[in-house]
Amino acid sequence: MAYASLEIVKTFDIDLGLMLVTTDIGRNSISDARLVYIVTIQGKGKSEVARWVKTRGTGSTAFSDLLSIQGSLPSRRPSFIREEVVIAGKAFDLYKRDIMECVRALYGSPDHSQYLCFMPERHYTDADKTRRLYHDIHTGRWWWDTQKALEADKPGATIIPLIISSGDKTQVTLFRNKSAYPVYLTIGNLPKDIRRKPSQQGQILLAYLPTSRLEHIKNKASRRRTVTNLFHACMKFIMKPLKEAGLDGVILQSGDGARRRCHPILAVYVGDYPEQILVTTAYYGGCASCETEKNQLGVYPCSAASRSHFAKMVGSYSWPDHCLQENIKPVQHLFWEDLPYANIFRSITPDILHQMYQGVMKHLISWVTDICGAAEIDARVRRLPPNHSIRIFHKGISSLSGVSETEHKQMCAFLLSLITDIPSLTPQQSNNLITATRSLLDFLYLACSSIHTDGPDGSLCSMDNALAAFHSHRQVFVELGVREHFNLPKLHFLCHYSSSIKFFGTTDNYNTETTERLHIDFAKNAYRASNRKDEYTQMTRWLERREKILYQSTYISWRLGNIEMSEDPLLDPGHGAISTRTLTYLKCVFTQKVTRFPTIKSVRLDKLEEKSGDGGYGATSFKTALTRFVVQFRNPEYSTAQVNEYAQFVVIPFNRLPIWHKLKFVNKDLYGKETLDSISCRPRRINHFTGKVTRNSQFDTALCKVSEREDGIENVVDDMRIGRVRVIFTIPQKHHDLLFPPNFPPPSHLAYVEWFSKFTHQAEPYSGMRKVKRQLFPDGSPAATIVPLDVLRRSVHLFPKWGGAVPVEWTSETILDHCDTFWLNPFKDNLLY
């Protein structure tokens, strides 16, 4: 997304984040004591061995002997402390770190010093400052409002927004039912691009909470209360230092040597629904953020007040009475009751993973499967055209169990196509079902956006409109017998998404998907490194040593001048988008990438024109299209009739061409080496001994630019066409002089494309999709031409127009040949949406 004007407002630019003193303690002056490791394990090669041992190699005991050699590894992160919690005469272990030392380690890391943000900002997309922009947490209202409140008491403060994550207990074994309860900490001063990448060590394991079910307490009600009290008692003990530090501030030193008076304040608590209920002490089945009762969760719009005012009453004499009125459990000594400037009910944020993919979308997929019939749904899923971003479930989706978040995300990419043209529904029912489904998908994809704008035409308004459209048409699920009510906590919480984004930035600042990924490193892998006896002592020691190794390897890479130590371009100190935190250019532009050498060096032209079902490429008019391309390239002013006339006299001086089977799209500035999209054009692979097909053919559809505008602004409907790519090739240079003018060579790579019709100017009113048809020549053959490869902008995915029950002869491989009418899939990926 690119904006002509980006205005940044910094009101707190005089005393805010006042730098008290600068000491020469950056990386350039780090003590040589850190080089003990280089002396102990001589050379970079052996240090890499050490890193491998701690991350992938043998057990800790064997490597401990190596580490016991003279010297010790330095560490910027605190060690774990074991504490005992006694409940009803039974002791349980709590492993924790000093939270202030953890904050000091994250804030003072030299690796991240150039990316830290010290003050809130207001970003606008226009010079009049009417359309506000939200992305990182420092662009949200929470930091701005908290800074104003803190400045009134303690001028010159630097806020450190604390983001605490405690996902549900995670299983560390497949059997034996052993689990871990990790708590993670990060700070909002770091960009979200660092915080969500485990390799950047922007998150720190704060504690392992007790996981016992307290089965020695026989009374169930007492046991439930004790479990809640145990959680809050442990968290209160861990976060106790934040009370004084948040009020009075503490002098912290960033990685560049600057010292500031910092106030660590709890900003966001990340967790799934059970954790949200546990933290806020609300009753299960209700909302953790507002006063909506569980039997009123389906009411839209939500008119219930937030519980923010209730946080101020915690600890008062009338606390139990207020709990009864607010439908809150009267838990004494909540861990957040003494934290300054904290509002736990505001700190509960959206959770894309559990609320959307594993919650609302899981329900929606189940509803439409029951409505349309599992057999019809599975038949359609198996026949969808392949694409880089689309997974084909060859056995359908109705029989899947234990579906993961990734699988639900993959299903959402084609869900809309499964419910069109259902023969058992009336037109009115079909339209309402399509509208409700499309609205929820719109909300999901908008909620996943990495940047938002407010205002009447902003993305936040579009998100709210999509949610309103769903609730306006949701009655169809009741009429069709798959729902009786909509009192679902996760569906209700969608009402709070817009306000949370305005307060804390976009949802990728606090998605539990990051927490789930951290479970692998900090819980599962740590447990596997132990001997399964007294495991937490070994797990914490393993994690400490692993952190030392990773930190030291980063330092050695920097010391040796290894410029490849950071493979992520967003983390390049010279990359303005993050180092200056302005995000002035936010448009993801694809760059084409083909391999240096062709997939097949020489393919006969006759093979290219063979039908794909016979093992060919299906480019049935390749030779004719090539002669037309030669004439048109030499004489761009010729009309279509003239091109066809002169093409008859062109002689092709070769009968073989080098062929590529894949075109990739990347964006090195934003995503590095990651392949964001690709176009495949490969034939069937047949085993010549058995005659069986070992790989189906795949010829993807692409969005192609067919016209240019004077203002340079691309309009997909008017300037783009969809084409099916059959062949990607190049004309050998030795033949250029025979076919093309001297000093005017053709493009290095060309593509044979079969065209679809222009987009309809009006989208279908219920699904919002645009219709296209296969374009044919008068003789019935596909309308095809050869175009420069740079015309292809990205791949697109097409939904077939089913027209009722799915024809048996259609398959995923052949559906683009058999079907004539298609819908453009708007949900292929987030970048296309």
Which whole number is the average pLDDT over 11-16? 53
- Are residue 418 and residue 538 in the same domain, yes or no? no
For residue 497, how many other CB atoms are within 10 A of its CB?
Answer: 22
Among 587, 760, 752, smallest CA distance to 670 is for: 587
* Residue 54: band (very low, low, confident or very high) from pLDDT cuts 50, 70, 90: low
- Are residue 686 and residue 748 in the same domain, yes or no? yes
Report whether the peptide linkage leading into residue 301 is cis, meaning its omega lies within 30 degrees of zero.
yes
Q: What is the pLDDT of residues 268-327, one digit of tens each?
A: 999 999 999 999 999 999 999 998 999 999 999 998 888 877 767 776 667 777 777 777
> Does the residue 331 lie in any domain?
no
* Residue 710: band (very low, low, confident or very high) from pLDDT cuts 50, 70, 90: low
Give the SS3 label for residue 672: coil
Query: 523 versus 55: which is more confidently predicted?
Result: 523
> Does the residue 345 lie in any domain?
no
Q: Which of 484, 504, 524 is the last residue of a domain?
A: 504
Residue 282 CB contacts under 8 Å (≥ 6 apart), including other chains: 276, 288, 327, 328, 329
- Are residue 566 and residue 595 in the same domain, yes or no? no
- Are residue 604 and residue 558 in the same domain, yes or no? no
- Are residue 45 and residue 149 in the same domain, yes or no? yes
- Are residue 142 and residue 266 in the same domain, yes or no? yes
Q: What is the pLDDT of residues 233-267, one digit of tens each?
A: 999 999 999 999 999 999 999 998 999 999 999 99
- pLDDT at position 580 is 41
> Does the residue 486 lie in any domain?
yes
Q: Any idea which residue has 């001994």 for tokens?
A: 689
Compute the distance between CA of residue 696 and CA of residue 325 in angstroms, rounded to an integer: 64
- pLDDT at position 587 is 61
- pLDDT at position 166 is 87
- Range with lowest mean pLDDT among 333-337, 496-500, 611-615: 611-615
The tokens for 279 are: 């933290």
pLDDT at 53 > cutoff 80? no
- Range with lowest mean pLDDT among 35-39, 408-412, 789-793: 35-39
For residue 541, how many other CB atoms are within 10 A of its CB?
Answer: 17
- Are residue 685 and residue 595 in the same domain, yes or no? yes
Question: Is pTM beyond 0.85 here?
Answer: yes
Which whole number is the average pLDDT over 393-419? 95
Q: Which of 479, 504, 529 is the last residue of a domain?
A: 504
- Are residue 602 and residue 645 in the same domain, yes or no? yes
Q: Which of 526, 550, 579 is the last residue of a domain?
A: 579
For residues 622-634, one letter each, b for 16 or more C-beta atoms within 10 angstroms of the residue's C-beta and e for the rest, the string is: bbbbbbbbbbbbe
* Residue 558: band (very low, low, confident or very high) from pLDDT cuts 50, 70, 90: confident
Compute the distance between CA of residue 294 and CA of residue 298 in angstroms, rounded to an integer: 9
Q: At what angle do helices 459-473 and 427-447 cross, to 10 degrees?
A: 150
Q: What is the pLDDT of residues 586-641, one digit of tens each?
A: 566 889 999 999 999 999 999 999 988 778 999 999 999 999 999 999 999 999 99
> Does the residue 825 lie in any domain?
no
Domain that holds residue 458: 352-504
* Domain count of the fold of the chain: 3
Query: What DSSP string runs through 466-526?
Result: HHHHHHHHTHHHHHTTS-S----HHHHGGGGHHHHHHHH--GGGS-HHHHHHHHIIIIIHH
- Are residue 367 and residue 268 in the same domain, yes or no? no
> Does the residue 332 lie in any domain?
no
- Are residue 495 and residue 551 in the same domain, yes or no? no
The tokens for 266 are: 């709890």
Q: What is the residue type of 219?
A: N
> Does the residue 719 lie in any domain?
yes
Q: What is the pLDDT of residues 210-220, one digit of tens each?
A: 998 888 888 88
pLDDT at 65 > cutoff 80? no
What are 662's strand-pairing partners?
680
- Are residue 693 and residue 758 in the same domain, yes or no? yes
> Does the residue 655 lie in any domain?
yes
> Does the residue 36 lie in any domain?
yes
Compute the distance between CA of residue 13 and CA of residue 449 in angstroms, rounded to an integer: 30
Distance of CA 759 to the CA centre of its chain: 30
The tokens for 18 are: 């006042």
Compute the distance between CA of residue 426 and CA of residue 422 in angstroms, rounded to an integer: 9
Which whole number is the average pLDDT over 492-496? 97
Residue 783 CB contacts under 8 Å (≥ 6 apart), including other chains: 754, 755, 775, 776, 777
- Are residue 519 and residue 667 in the same domain, yes or no? no
* Residue 42: band (very low, low, confident or very high) from pLDDT cuts 50, 70, 90: very low
User: Angle at the Cα of 147 (from 144 to 148), degrees rounded to 5?
Assistant: 90
